[in-house]
Amino acid sequence: MLSTRPTPFSIAELSRDAATIAEAISAVLAMSLETNLLEVEEVFRDAGSPVYLIAKPELTIVFGMPAWRSALDRLGMSPLENRYALAGSTA
């Protein structure tokens, strides 16, 4: 499981650039094959981050809970369904 200490996400998150954050996530997943996207999402939640992940149809990074809920609604996906999808996803 990932810890909540400073991670590669910290610097990427400061950029508020989805591509930079996605690169950091890919790097962490490549280094730690047992880690999944749900664990990455939990690190963001534990840190009080505005970054949210959506697993399907492809990894999407949004900023803020309203944007996250809106994107999930457009996809017809519940937050719980997204958590399941994140848990089943590996880079």
Residues 37-89 pLDDT 10s: 999 999 889 888 899 999 989 999 999 999 999 999 999 999 999 999 999 85
Q: What is the pLDDT of residue 10?
A: 56
| Residue 82 to residue 30: CA distance in whole angstroms | 21
90 vs 69: which has the higher pLDDT: 69
Q: What is the pLDDT of residue 91?
A: 44
pLDDT digits (tens, 9 = 90+) for 4-42: 455 555 555 666 788 888 988 998 899 988 999 999 999
Q: What is the pLDDT of residue 9?
A: 57
| Residue 35 to residue 31: CA distance in whole angstroms | 9
Token pair belonging to 10: 């910290």
53, 60 Cβ separation under 8 angstroms: yes
Q: What is the pTM of this model?
A: 0.80
Q: What is the pLDDT of residue 19?
A: 87
